[in-house]
Structure 1
Amino acid sequence: MIDNAARFVDEPVKYAGIGTGRFERSPYERDRGRVLHSAGFRRLATKTQVHPAGEDGFVRTRLTHSLEVAQIARELGERLGCDPDVVDTAGLAHDLGHPPFGHNGEDALDAMAQPCGGFEGNAQTLRVLTRLEAKVFDADGRSVGLNLTRATLDAVCKYPWFRTSGTRKYGVYADDAPIFSWLRAGAADRCLEAQVMDWSDDVAYSVHDVEDGIHGGYVDLDPLRRDDAERAALCADVAAVYSGESAGDLADVLDQLLSDPVFTPLSGYDGSHRAQAALKRVTSVLTGRFVVETIKATRDRYGPDPVRRYDADLVVPRRTRAQVALLKGIALRYVMRRPEASPSYARQQDLLKELVTVLIERAPDELDPVFAPLWRTASDDAEKLRVVIDQVASLTDPAAVAWHRRLCVGLI
């Protein structure tokens, strides 16, 4: 029988302490604490979500996004029967592997990392949790990262498969196969907790990225309601990137979404205190709706008894999934793909590529004390490149700029 609470390296029991009223913390409470106290989690405070971190105190960073995903996942998962600390920790940890500058940075590092198997933020998350974070070492002196339980690591695996030809998303690099095989022992598909985390991530960033876009002046729903051609173009974007449905099928859902009375108070948004309150009400209503509809659909299929792990799959109604995809498309089209952002994206990609190039030439001297020893013990150029990629991926947005200024300006 698979022990879901097992750790890759056995550890002694830790006690909760005098006066707590309990003998010990659960293994999953310990997992949550380890992620919350990790260096990688702190770094998310200055990593880009959609808008550059630090430019506007209103908008999300990777850290605030992760906290919101964890809250949604905890409530959704607990109502279905999942261990609340497992889904909470999965939400907190799911973006630990994302590099500076969000998905734009991810694309840049993927291009540079092709000789060592590419770069993917979700695969990097597993690497951070099981190798790069400093917490536990095995008997041979190798780091096993935070040494989280099998159940928690499985819940973090949004894409539990290796990279293959044509695969855009994957959750593990080839050289992390041993820990991946251990945590996936007995697994057939994604566990329910991973599905809960994944859907909570979709709900959070679809609703909150639109909220940030409206507040920032990039998103205005009124013109979209009036322009048939623009609505068709939006649906085409969503069909190409976020949904398996056709643009024509999405069009009906978009019309229903835009006519929802919940959006009425947002007309003429001016950023005032009252306008912000109206905007927050929209995000609260939509988040609650998407969670409740999912709970109901899952209960309708599997009944009222608690479900977890491989007892059930998360059931998201077709209309609910399409609405979330359309909200993600609004953020994509009007925030991430706005023309004035293109020069900044190009500079970010150039910065990371130049930084990788210089570090390849000047490693291990310019690597920090975590990564320099890993570079020295690497067996070939591919392994050395992976260490450099790990180093750059670990940087915050401001740190990447500072490293580039120190190492690259005038050299490339």
Structure 2
Amino acid sequence: MTSGGTDERPIDPRAVRRSGGTAGASTPGDLAGSPFRVDRDRVASSPFFARLAGVTQVVSPTGSGLLLHNRLTHSLKVAQAARAIAERLRARPELTGVLDKLGGCDPDVVEAAGLAHDLGHPPFGHLGEQVLDRIARNRFGLPDGFEGNAQSFRIVTTTDVRGPAAVGLDLTVAVRAAMLKYPWTRLSHPQPHPSGMARPPRGAAEQTEWPGAGSAKFSAYVTELDDLTQARAAFAGRVDGWQQTVEASVMDTADDIAYAIHDLEDFHRVGVLQHATVATELGTWQARALEFAELDPAELAAQARKPGRSLEALRRRLHAKDSWAVDDDAFAAAVARVRAELVDGLLAVPFDGSVEAEQTVAGFSARWTGRLVAGVDILEEPTTRSGHVVLAVQQWHEVQVLKFVHRRFVLLRPDLALHQRGQARLLTALVEALDQWLTDRLEADRLPRRLHDLVELAESEYRWLAAFAPAALVGATGEAPSGPDALRSLARGRAVVDFVASLTDIQAAGLLDALSGRTGQLWTDAFVL
């Protein structure tokens, strides 16, 4: 209803955009009517989203054809699972009041967040994330380093230029909040910081190898602190300041489901995941579980390379970290189900590309996805180690065992480590080469325009923080940078990290070849977003 040409409908705080615009404000490029569907379309149209086709999920997809997921296909499947979970929860009348009380659960919101959650992943996936974090903190002195989730949030709020104002994508409050898997900064927000809680939320605790460096995982840099607080304001009084929104919890759960299933599918296809080794690990633990439970920790660690011991170590870690959920009977049942369906089912016959093999893989993936999605429920008052959206006890244990198989028999392989060490050296050399170019006054006017723009953007951000929120620039040492040169150095570091993080695997390698003179070909491919 309107009166005198003025729309009297109350403004939905979840649909307010970063710019302050309301749901009814649209741009010529927006085709959808729903503000959250508009967000989904904006993410899908972003060049940062398109580049995910060239970014590693676990190993580089280059040359693998149809065999391996990349970050794009992973994101599509996360969005698919997230939407299915949201629709199932909304279809249950007994949950309507709980969902409304906690802030809502819209399928378009969780789908948009699922598509956007990995936008910030750099070349070479999690390996690249670790390398850029180390460089950002140690070389450039950035107090919050680099984190893939925070980089995703920075892209949609700041560095993507496809939005109406060329500053981010101008997404709604609900979608931005749904991207905040870890709704805190590394060191300073909120206060008290969740890293200091007696039982910190997942990701909030410090990494043991870097004491004082802040949370291991976080979803916003200090440069986007205003965006984080604006996105979370609509949920004040509904969820705790450190707690995910329901929609973020749906996205997080969908990410876990996709990770647990599809990476195993990939490595079965390429012949890395071997039937005999996985069968021996799971079968030995089943046969000797009571014996292994009696081993003292030192004895178990000394036997870590022997079959069954790694699985026993997982059971003990779950008791130590997630005692609220772990159940030994459910764990044993999960091992039995994974052995029956993964080991004796999928892995029993090597993948040969035949129709039968493809159907076996598709059936495994469909059964497990359906089982896990169907096992999702809501907790109105979860523990600090859980979101509001949780898997049922049995499915939760099954995900832990599936992820264990992936880690134990893929991620810990020496040949993968060899490959990743080379990728780490490549990224380190690329950052050094770009930093040297930035500090070369004779060549400064020939910088890639995108890199130049990123330096100017970061410098304006750090100058504003130094003037109005200097505490945000205090790092683990307790000291804040001072003086124009210090701020310029921070800006240069953030710009280089932003630039490198926006490349695909192939672009990163090709750019380093060009910068190091290892190629005679004139660089003509577009390596800048």
TM-score by length of 2: 0.68
Whether contact under 8 Å (1:224, 1:231) holds in the other structure is: no
Match status 1:320 vs 2:385? no
One-letter amino acid of the counterpart of residue 69, structure 1: V
Deviates more, 1:178-187 or 1:259-268: 259-268
List aligned pairs for 1:43-58, cutoff 5 A.
43-57=51-65, 58=67
Deviates more, 1:53-62 or 1:117-126: 53-62
- 1:17-40 per-position Cα deviation (integer Å, ceiling 9, x unaligned): 9xx9xxx61111110110000010
Whether contact under 8 Å (1:43, 1:395) holds in the other structure is: yes
One-letter amino acid of the counterpart of residue 127, structure 1: R
SS at match of 2:14: coil
Pair 409,241 (structure 1): closer, same or farther in 2 beyond 3 Å: farther
SS at match of 1:184: helix
Deviates more, 1:336-345 or 1:214-223: 214-223
Which residue of the other structure, out of 364, 385, 406, is the alignment partner of 2:493?
Answer: 385
Deviates more, 1:248-257 or 1:151-160: 248-257
Which residue number in structure 2 is paired with residue 372 of structure 1?
A: 452
Query: Larger Cα Rg: Structure 1 or Structure 2?
Result: 2
Which residue of the other structure, out of 184, 193, 197, is the alignment partner of 2:232?
Answer: 184
Which residue of the other structure, out of 434, 443, 448, is the alignment partner of 1:359?
Answer: 434
Which residue of the other structure, out of 182, 198, 203, is the alignment partner of 1:159?
Answer: 182
Number of matched pairs:
389
- 1:116-157 per-position Cα deviation (integer Å, ceiling 9, x unaligned): 12111000000011011013476xxxx530010000000111
Deviation at 1:176, TM superposition (A): 1.3
SS at match of 2:244: coil
Distance 1:98 1:61 in 2: 11
Which residue number in structure 2 is paired with residue 105 of structure 1?
A: 128
Deviates more, 1:278-287 or 1:233-242: 233-242
Which residue number in structure 2 is paired with residue 233 of structure 1?
A: 310
Which residue number in structure 2 is paired with residue 150 of structure 1?
A: 173
Match status 1:135 vs 2:162? yes
Pair 179,248 (structure 1): closer, same or farther in 2 beyond 3 Å: closer
Which residue number in structure 2 is paired with residue 90 of structure 1?
A: 113
Distance 1:199 1:365 in 2: 47
Pair 356,152 (structure 1): closer, same or farther in 2 beyond 3 Å: same
Deviates more, 1:216-225 or 1:123-132: 216-225
Match status 1:292 vs 2:374? yes
One-letter amino acid of the counterpart of residue 369, structure 1: R
Match status 1:4 vs 2:14? yes
Structure 2: unaligned runs, 5 residues or longer: 1-10, 91-104, 188-211, 285-305, 381-386, 439-443, 460-486, 519-529
Deviates more, 1:91-100 or 1:208-217: 208-217
Pair 248,27 (structure 1): closer, same or farther in 2 beyond 3 Å: closer
Distance 2:271 2:57 in 1: 17
Distance 1:203 1:69 in 2: 8
One-letter amino acid of the counterpart of residue 128, structure 2: G
Whether contact under 8 Å (2:53, 2:70) holds in the other structure is: yes
Which residue number in structure 2 is paired with residue 38 of structure 1?
A: 46
Which residue of the other structure, out of 270, 292, 302, is the alignment partner of 2:351?
Answer: 270
One-letter amino acid of the counterpart of residue 26, structure 2: K
Distance 2:415 2:445 in 1: 38
TM-score by length of 1: 0.86
Match status 1:341 vs 2:416? yes
Match status 1:257 vs 2:324? no
Deviation at 1:365, TM superposition (A): 5.1
Distance 1:365 1:334 in 2: 49
Deviation at 1:248, TM superposition (A): 9.8
